[in-house]
Structure 1
């Protein structure tokens, strides 16, 4: 059943990725003897053998109870080990119910602890940006974490639940990623280094990503010649050829963005020029695992600029800029008022220039923050933008902004 399902996903007939959890709520599905796959927002791979249970990734605080119930329906063996593919909260919060009777040994890269410390330091900020990204206004960011018991720097081999876990460190979406290979089953566990959409290495609201290092990790994983790959988001992939294709084409897609961006950066181009020039390889556009539905290419370019070029974007006006509201007020005065800017935004929107419409609507709202009509226009512009975007990142920000201005307009008494 899982092989047939995975084949449909491979062919683009079903969706299962970090955006669409196609098998969520279906419990633990057998992959091979002693290996089960649990689908959720943060997949979990369970191993049973030698009277032990081990988990690769442990899901989120929101699904820990369901994970425990589903795994217990599959195996009654005590949890003796768990592995974090990295420290994002949808991968590290599921051991609690298992550890009520016995503490497990948790393995992770040494940088996971520093991530947890940063999460505590910036818990308020992380709550805000994840509320916006996932449209979850009630989300509260956790400040207590289950720290790993055993950490490593470059590589580590562990024997648990009757199988071997060959672990190695990689950089990509995070700086604390662990990849695991289980030779007994020729099984690759890439964590979030493959998520069935374009790589999440440009997220505009999150910390630094590492696109070039991600390319290296993809090549290293492809060289393992695995027969089964179980990502931490999205469907399994079966078969050496398919796994190699998915990993190497993802590497090609990402390396193209890296090369184009670095070439332009080294030529002295401004960030604005680079963002609007670099494009991914056209011949990979139809791949079901390379759709820009979560992150997107221009965000990757900005992240590369941040990594290699700092925060100055090449525009001297942005080095020590006027406050946004001051600039917006000056432009509104030149245009004849904030309402004129709002009208111009609607005109740009009607002509299909949503990017320009966004600039004009935002300036109008900054220049006249208590004008209900202006907020109504801002809400319309960004609602339209959200509806026409493919990536969850852009949809999240634009939807949040639209809702924000709708609330302002209603509070200020704008006419419908």
Structure 2
């Protein structure tokens, strides 16, 4: 079964670089949990209120039709398989999974169509996110049409199989991450949008952030997302059990995008859609740079988008992103509590399950508010005392007061350790203030000298084995990392480090940490999976503006190759009636609007031709032969520019140099 997927969370950058669809390597068997891991996981059962079964009642509430099948793409390849998680049916957590994480994984395994309240339905468990369906007067309103067109269509088909068949008249994108818009063509036709039959709503800045948030670092984010979501791991007790916000993301499928027709631009804005009144609350800079909550007065229902889920979220996602503002996040949550806390009968989000009842909703919002405020304020408190990021992470080991015992503040997706370091980074940057860390040696040089100073590879391996035997896995992993970077061909180091990472993964309450540990272990045992094919989202490429295309060329430019090839090129997009000029100078590529009369050459083409080139459906020479590109002036200069561009390798090493 395919286990490699398009970047699951907000990873929208597979535009010019290749995305992959990759099979898992045949893996050596992982080790069994150690005695220390078994004891660590057993202790969790005494630390948390496992007797509280409220969430198991909530996850099943309103079930209309379960979903137990598979979803396939047009070629017949399975891209979603609910049955892959049947192993979670065991009541007792296996020794290789943290019991708290096992509990969450069981909850997230509930897939099907649910009635949240009259007129308000959710399809959960058919993708990483939820699809919310609201029955309006003259049609359906869909909030967040999932990641892939195939899963979105399956979700709508499940609804239609159990509810009256009304047309979709509106789609709402709650925010800019791909699992909340990528399946849109599975539920509506763009022709209907252009004809005015269907409206598409989104927060202000949606398209700009969709196209820019992750594009420039997209290749690296795609690779790191494999680790975060465990997309390469087999599903099972020794592999991937969950992704925190849901089971995973579809392994393949078609990412789509239809630009919004209506933007919500005011901080608070009211719209009536299909006879249903919506009060939109913009929350920029929280879980996404453009995001909005929604309150539906008639239904007394509050949608918190992804700002308040059933767990601690990421202030900085491990796959990479701009650091989020935990303080603003907490303030927006308080605004929602103050504005809607006394009005809402149900709170739902675009992940996990709803919360019913006014008192529970108010407590939930207040606890989530307090959690993000604590992350921000306590980190600042400690950094102002001179503590470094790692010292802060090791100091803040639990949330204060009753927050530590609430299931919906547990670190299943975000974590205290990662989030406190992210807050430090937001305010202080990556430098910890110690001059010794101003200009440290790179990892390989550091590792070689460290291993030599410790008496050589055999001595380090011996120390590592002793640390493992005592259950000191964090230290063992640090030793193993130094040894691997000093001696990357050391087979015993590969084996020992894989075993260490597996134990850390087995103990982790955080789904993404487990996935990252176990993916690292898998690659140490079997190597990095090779590149196998490409899959580029056509809609994403079409949504790129010429300015973004040029910005990305600047990222791809190898300045060492380009430094002696200064040039100026004019670009005219005939269909857009827009002109630009590019300047390559000192190995740096910049662009501005308008033509440069002193340009070395001029290129005329359509945006459609540029899109075909970006999608590798066409190349420059062929386009010129067909007359799709007109070149005037010194054509060698265009060749010099193209010859200075790199194509990024998508499968770079992570756990080895």
* 1:58/1:94 contact within 8 Å kept: yes
Residues 230 and 512 of structure 2 are in contact (CA less than 8 Å); yes or no, is this contact kept in structure 1? no
Note the 1:87-126 alignment, pairs <5 A: 87-100=176-189, 102-103=192-193, 104-118=198-212, 119-126=214-221
Output one character per residue of 1:234-257: Cα deviation in whole Å (capped at 9) or x when no partner.
111111100000110121222222
Contact 1:45 1:55 in 2 (8 A): yes
Match of 2:485 among 357, 366, 381: 366
Match of 1:69?
Answer: 157
Q: Per-residue displacement from partner, 1:325-383 (whole Å, max 9, x unpaired)?
A: 11111111112212321221221122222211111010010010011111111111111
Q: Relative CO higher for 1 or 2, CA cutoff 8 Å, sep ≥ 6?
A: 2
Match of 1:152 in 2: 264
- TM superposition shift of 1:52: 1.4
Alpha-carbon distance in 1 for matches of 2:291, 2:357: 24
Change (3 A) 1:253 1:98: closer
Aligned CA-pair RMSD: 2.8
Residues in 2 aligned to 1:121 and 1:356: alpha-carbon distance in whole angstroms = 34
Q: Please name the residue that 2:132 is paired with.
A: 45
**Alpha carbons of 1:38 and 1:7: their partners in 2 closer, same or farther (altered >3 Å)?**
closer
In the alignment, which of 274, 285, 299 is matched to residue 185 of structure 1?
299
Instruction: Tell me if structure 1 keeps the 8 A contact 2:304–2:349.
Output: yes
Counterpart of 1:191 in 2: which secondary structure? coil
Query: Offset at 1:15?
Result: 8.6
Q: 1:75 and 1:351 mapped to 2: Cα distance?
A: 61
Whole-angstrom distance in 1 between the partners of 2:401 and 2:168: 46
1:259-307 superposed Cα distances (whole Å, 9 cap, x missing partner): 1111122233322322221242142222121121222111110110111
Rg: which structure is higher?
Answer: 2
The yes-or-no answer on 1:264 pairing with 2:371 is: no
TM-score (norm 1): 0.89
Matched residue, 1:211? 326
Shift of 1:390: 1.0
Residue correspondence of structure 1 range 226-237 to structure 2 within 5 A = 226-237=344-355
Q: Tell me, what secondary structure is at the counterpart of 1:90?
A: helix
The equivalences for 1:5-404 within 5 A come to 5-6=57-58, 20-24=107-111, 26-27=112-113, 29-40=114-125, 41-61=128-148, 63-73=151-161, 74-100=163-189, 102-103=192-193, 104-118=198-212, 119-137=214-232, 145-153=257-265, 154-170=267-283, 171-207=285-321, 208-223=323-338, 224-225=340-341, 226-279=344-397, 280-404=399-523
- Tell me if structure 1 keeps the 8 A contact 2:302–2:348: yes
- Further displaced range: 79-88 or 108-117: 108-117
Per mean C-alpha deviation after superposition, the further-off stretch among 72-81 and 325-334 is: 72-81
Q: How much does 1:145 deviate? A: 2.8
- Secondary structure of the 1:36 match is strand
Q: C-alpha distance in 2, partners of 1:165/1:185?
A: 10
Q: Secondary structure at the match of 2:408?
A: coil
Larger helix share, 1 or 2:
1
Is contact 2:505-2:515 (8 Å) kept? yes
Shift in CA distance, 291/19, structure 1 to aligned 2, threshold 3 Å: farther
Range with greater deviation from structure 2 (342-351 or 372-381): 342-351
Structure 2: gaps (5+ residues): 1-53, 62-98, 233-249, 529-657
Shift of 1:99: 1.8
**Distance (Å, rounded) in 2 between the aligned partners of 1:288 and 1:204:** 22
Moved beyond 6 Å, runs of 4+: 12-19, 140-143
Give the Cα separation in 2 of the matches to 1:30 and 1:392. Answer: 28
Residues 32/307 of structure 1: CA separation in 2 closer, same or farther (3 Å cut): same
SS at 1:285 equivalent: helix
CA contact (8 A) 1:68 1:94 kept: no
> C-alpha distance in 2, partners of 1:3/1:331?
49
2:121 is paired with a residue whose SS is: strand
Deviation at 1:163, TM superposition (A): 0.9
Equivalent residue pairs, number: 404
Q: String of CA shifts for 1:149-193, please: whole Å, max 9, x gaps.
A: 222332322211221111111132222111000011111000111
The normalised TM-score by structure 2 is: 0.58
Q: Is the 8 A contact 1:278 1:298 kept in 2?
A: yes
